[in-house]
């Protein structure tokens, strides 16, 4: 799926760079350009693509210091500059636009929903968010910012693909130490998904295409992406069990949003050497994902790739009712209220989602 990236804020820029580099290294050609936008000059200087500094009149290139309302305001004021940097990069071949940001900070948190909203007014292609949730041990400002941003970004984008910063952490590693490895994990998942929609090598019997990604994401406003890989035997028949166990790991331990398995739709992509991917295994994996997610809209397909491994990628669409998200929104709400004691959870998961306690940003 040919996509253009807009990285907003520090995390957005760094993750976009990781995505561009992964796509180049793998020779996929699915990432068709990237632009980074920030209020902090210093965070833009190391990025190898076009950058736009916004809010110069207000913050003089120094950043918004975690104030996401200011982040939203300056983005709105300077939106023309952002849109003109994108002009010419988004063309007839572009199939989707990704607005990439960390939701806990200021510029990305406030600015990304504004960018998504404006892009949707102009372009017909889907505008997706790729949003990073702060880890549990990040301070309350990050949780509140992310809660408000999440609510607004999910409303403005066609779908918001979420990554929890706690998802890929190794034991003993702080969130900050782990950023680079987290970014690599995210880039691998998203990069493979975009490339799967391109199907670059050979012609498989049931290759995935962009419309399947789009249709999966059409269901609901929040999405997640799971991944796992294992060594493969040369013959497809020998890999049925490997596909099944890799599928389980991709969903249960390899997701960008752990424990969010209740979904409205899903796409299961099995990547590997064409002769090594068992059709029966793909179908079995698809059915298992149907049971596990409770969705009857689970698509399955393969992604021919020269590798001695088999990888399984699971895109979940419409996961907003999951307990994991309720937990996060609850965390954000509690942080906002500055309460030490946890409040009772709503009886019906999903209610928190519709709460009025967290203000929309826009
Ligand atoms: P902004 O520049 O004001 O938008 O702020 P940041 O992009 O630094 O956003 C802060 C949030 O993003 C925090 O929750 C951080 O944990 C997270 N973050 C910052 N940099 C990275 C990164 O490189 N990778 C990941 N995964 N998260 C990051």
Instruction: Give DSSP secondary structure letters for 108-173.
Output: HHHHHHHHHHHHHHH-SS-EEEEEEEPPTTS-HHHHHHHHHHHHHHHHHSSEEEEEETTTTPPTT-
In tens, the pLDDT along 191-228 reads 999 999 886 555 555 678 899 999 999 988 999 999 99
**How many A from CA of 155 to the centre of ligand 1?**
21
Minimum mean pLDDT range among 20-34, 45-59, 166-180? 166-180
Residue to probe by mutation, ligand 1, list 9, 52, 72, 105, most atoms within 8 Å of CB? 105
**How many A from CA of 204 to the centre of ligand 1?**
39
In this structure, the answer to whether residues 170 and 49 fall within a common structural domain is yes
Q: How many domains does the chain have?
A: 2
CB of 175 sitting under 6 A from ligand 1: yes
**How many A from CA of 14 to the centre of ligand 1?**
9
In this structure, the answer to whether residues 148 and 230 fall within a common structural domain is no
CB of 34 sitting under 6 A from ligand 1: no
Please give the pLDDT value at position 355. Answer: 59
In a domain, 12, yes or no: yes
Ligand 1 atom at shortest distance from the alpha carbon of 111: 4
357, pLDDT greater than 70 = no
In this structure, the answer to whether residues 35 and 143 fall within a common structural domain is yes
**How many A from CA of 77 to the centre of ligand 1?**
23
Ligand 1 atom at shortest distance from the alpha carbon of 146: 14
CB of 127 sitting under 6 A from ligand 1: no
In tens, the pLDDT along 298-309 reads 999 999 988 999
In this structure, the answer to whether residues 139 and 269 fall within a common structural domain is no
Minimum mean pLDDT range among 43-57, 110-124, 162-176? 162-176
170, pLDDT greater than 80 = no
241, pLDDT greater than 60 = yes
Instruction: Give the domain CATH number at 231.
Output: 3.30.1330.20
Instruction: Indicate the pTM of the whole model.
Output: 0.92
Share of the chain above pLDDT 70, in %: 92
In tens, the pLDDT along 127-140 reads 999 999 999 889 99
CB of 143 sitting under 6 A from ligand 1: no
75, pLDDT greater than 70 = yes
CB of 134 sitting under 6 A from ligand 1: yes
In this structure, the answer to whether residues 29 and 156 fall within a common structural domain is yes
pLDDT band for position 91 (50/70/90)? very high
In this structure, the answer to whether residues 295 and 159 fall within a common structural domain is no
DSSP 224-271: EEEEEEEE--SSGGGGHHHHHHHHHHHHHTSBSSTT----SEEEEEEE
pLDDT band for position 342 (50/70/90)? very low
CB of 220 sitting under 6 A from ligand 1: no
In this structure, the answer to whether residues 23 and 67 fall within a common structural domain is yes
In this structure, the answer to whether residues 25 and 161 fall within a common structural domain is yes
CB of 301 sitting under 6 A from ligand 1: no
Ligand 1 atom at shortest distance from the alpha carbon of 12: 7
Residues 286-295: contacts with CB within 8 Å, 24+ apart?
Answer: 288/244, 288/247, 288/248, 289/247, 289/251, 289/314, 290/266, 292/251, 292/261, 293/251, 293/261, 293/262, 293/263, 293/266, 294/262, 294/263, 295/263, 295/264, 295/265, 295/266
354, pLDDT greater than 80 = no
In this structure, the answer to whether residues 25 and 155 fall within a common structural domain is yes
CB of 18 sitting under 6 A from ligand 1: no
In this structure, the answer to whether residues 47 and 184 fall within a common structural domain is yes
pLDDT band for position 176 (50/70/90)? confident
**How many A from CA of 102 to the centre of ligand 1?**
5
Instruction: Give the domain CATH number at 58.
Output: 3.40.50.1440
Print the domain residue range for 102. Answer: 3-195
340, pLDDT greater than 50 = no
Is residue 173 left, alpha or beta, with left meaning phi > 0 and alpha meaning psi from -120 to 50? beta
Please give the pLDDT value at position 198. Answer: 81
Does residue 107 or residue 207 have the better pLDDT? 107
In a domain, 360, yes or no: no
In this structure, the answer to whether residues 186 and 246 fall within a common structural domain is no
pLDDT band for position 31 (50/70/90)? very high
In this structure, the answer to whether residues 252 and 163 fall within a common structural domain is no
Distance CA 131, CA 74 (A): 20
Please give the pLDDT value at position 327. Answer: 87
């Amino acid at each position: 799926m040919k996509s253009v990236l807009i990285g907003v804020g520090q995390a957005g820029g760094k993750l976009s760079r990781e995505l561009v580099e992964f796509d180049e290294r793998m020779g996929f050609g699915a990432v068709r350009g990237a632009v980074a936008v920030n209020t902090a000059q210093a965070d833009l200087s190391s990025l190898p693509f076009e950058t736009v500094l916004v809010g110069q009149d207000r913050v003089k290139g120094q950043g918004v210091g975690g104030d996401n309302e200011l982040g939203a305001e300056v983005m709105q004021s300077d939106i023309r500059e952002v849109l003109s940097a994108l002009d010419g990069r988004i063309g007839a071949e572009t199939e989707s636009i990704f607005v990439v940001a960390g939701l806990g900070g200021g510029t990305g948190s406030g600015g990304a929903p504004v960018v998504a909203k404006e892009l949707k007014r102009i372009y017909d292609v889907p505008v997706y968010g790729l949003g990073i949730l702060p880890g549990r041990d990040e301070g309350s400002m990050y949780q509140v910012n992310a809660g408000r941003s999440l609510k607004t970004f999910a409303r403005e984008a066609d779908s918001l693909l979420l990554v929890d910063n706690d998802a890929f952490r190794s034991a003993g590693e702080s969130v900050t130490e782990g950023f680079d490895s987290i970014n690599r994990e995210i880039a691998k998942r998203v990069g493979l998904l975009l490339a799967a929609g391109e199907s670059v090598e050979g012609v498989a019997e049931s290759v995935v295409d962009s419309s399947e990604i789009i249709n999966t994401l059409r269901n609901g406003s929040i999405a997640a992406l799971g991944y796992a890989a294992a060594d493969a035997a040369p013959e497809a028949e020998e890999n049925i069990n490997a596909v099944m166990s890799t599928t389980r790991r991709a969903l249960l331990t390899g997701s960008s949003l752990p424990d969010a398995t209740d979904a409205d739709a899903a796409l299961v992509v099995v990547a590997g050497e064409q002769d090594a991917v068992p059709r029966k295994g793909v179908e079995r994996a698809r059915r298992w994902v149907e049971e596990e997610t409770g969705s009857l809209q689970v698509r399955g397909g393969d992604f021919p790739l020269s590798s001695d491994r088999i990888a399984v990628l699971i895109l979940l669409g419409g996961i907003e009712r999951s307990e994991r998200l309720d937990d996060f929104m609850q965390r954000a709400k509690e942080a906002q209220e500055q309460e030490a004691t946890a409040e009772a959870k709503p009886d019906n998961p999903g209610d928190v989602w519709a709460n009025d306690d967290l203000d929309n940003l826009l």
